[in-house]
Structure 1
């Protein structure tokens, strides 16, 4: 080894090692889409009687969007109510049980008197008469038990009718198409007067208060603690620039073997409704 080579090695050893450059926050190209979107279907078959909302309208969760012709359903509810009232009257009628119990009490009293009479005067009542009175008591005991059993059956019948009332009311309620979540009416599929099949879409509803920013992140930039991190969505330039915060909600467990990327998406708050689905931008994961 010559002197010059030895000198370079000494310099290399004595020079300070530069500190590692801080890694930049991962940035992902993303597209916004609705966090919640649904083709709200008809839950019954029938003629569409009324469209309550209009395209672009904002609705609350549970708000009525459209109504089908429900006249037959209302008649079914009224019929079920009447049948329930009828079975209730029968199930709550204690007269049969009370009569059977009274008859049994009288028969038992008569048998006791006969037995007392025999104890005092052996031949005051014949054995055949005593057997008839015993048989009457046994018969009325069974009749009282049967009356109670029939009352229990009537109570079950009443409960079944109450269930039928609930089912009829549910079918009636299903003639209304209701919003499953708060959002904006993006499209109305059906028109008033049209025949609508069960499960056919009536209204397309999208939630705009929260959006999904979805893209692909290089697997080399992944860290174990990225999920739940704050993110910053940016779109546009200059005066048209938009910037808003959100939260990273999903990192796919699967990697594309060609691009070595994984799918990720973040939830972006949009309380003012300024962001629209389809908007492209970047997502910066704040470390």
Structure 2
């Protein structure tokens, strides 16, 4: 009787799961191998157009979320926006067209009323062709009102376009962080898409490492983790920084050396944890919520 490779693999994985379940009653934590710190929320900012740098931060500056990071010289764009805003606010042509329409209809109605009051219906004050011309003139005046309003809407669209154009001269950060690299400086010319400023959010740091395959079956995202990192000192023993967090990821793949990648995110408000620091990390099993498996 021949047993398929898939069946053998399935049996092997089931055995690992059973072994892990038994081990859970014997251990309270899983140590993570070779943990290392890494910042994950970082961005290198550039502009969507070329120009001259008018404003950039300095290295080490803190940039809040939605705060300006880069501004290009935009004098011409600002002037264009002011002109567009003035045109969009101008109601003069609409008012003139509306008054012209009122006047045309008034003249038409007066002529019609004069003909109605004429003593001799066969001898009206105004011929029918004149009445028709007055009506056409009034309708044309109405069309001028519509045209003036359409033109104003066009001016409003031009204003919005000019505003969007001006906004393209500025870049804002989508998250808070420190400026870690300044690649170009105020007054320099830059091209579209050219890297200018790098910002890193240091308030949260990721700690990555690996666990054995059997241990991975005991882990669930959301479990509490404890991290300890060493900070070298000029004299004496290194300073130990300890922090708690939660397990955020368990890899679905098994690596070459039969281990599984995991990581947790740790609050780093003090900024003491730096990228590339080594230390220790373990996952607390007793604090995990029981998981429910649906078949």
TM-score (norm 2): 0.74
CA distance 1:229–1:101, change in 2 (3 Å)? farther
Write the deviation string for residues 211-262 of structure 1: whole angstroms up to 9, x where unpaired: 0112223332224861112111122396522211011122233333x33333
Shift of 1:167: 2.4
Q: Who is 2:257 aligned against?
A: 259
Q: Who is 2:194 aligned against?
A: 200
Write the deviation string for residues 193-214 of structure 1: whole angstroms up to 9, x where unpaired: 3211112111111111110112
Other structure's SS at 1:241 match: strand
**2: CA distance between counterparts of 1:286 and 1:92?**
75
CA RMSD of aligned residues (A): 2.9
Q: Who is 1:5 aligned against?
A: none
**Corresponding residue to 2:93 among 90, 95, 113:** 90
**2: CA distance between counterparts of 1:242 and 1:44?**
44
**2: CA distance between counterparts of 1:161 and 1:247?**
51
**Corresponding residue to 1:161 among 158, 161, 164:** 158
Q: Which runs of 5+ in 2 are unaligned?
A: 1-21, 232-236, 286-295
CA distance 1:223–1:273, change in 2 (3 Å)? same
Shift of 1:50: 4.1
Q: Which has the larger radius of gyration?
A: 1
Contact 1:111/1:134 (8 A) holds in 2: no
Q: Who is 2:204 aligned against?
A: 210
Q: Who is 2:40 aligned against?
A: 35
1:150 aligns with 2:140: no
1:243 aligns with 2:242: yes
Shift of 1:117: 4.4
Q: Which runs of 5+ in 1 are unaligned?
A: 1-18
Contact 1:27/1:284 (8 A) holds in 2: yes
1:76 aligns with 2:80: yes
Shift of 1:163: 2.0
CA distance 1:182–1:204, change in 2 (3 Å)? same
Q: Who is 2:15 aligned against?
A: none
Shift of 1:42: 2.6
Contact 2:65/2:174 (8 A) holds in 1: yes
Q: How does 1:126-137 map onto structure 2 within 5 Å?
A: 130-136=127-133
Other structure's SS at 1:235 match: strand
Shift of 1:24: 4.3
TM-score (norm 1): 0.76
- The size of the alignment, in residue pairs, is 256
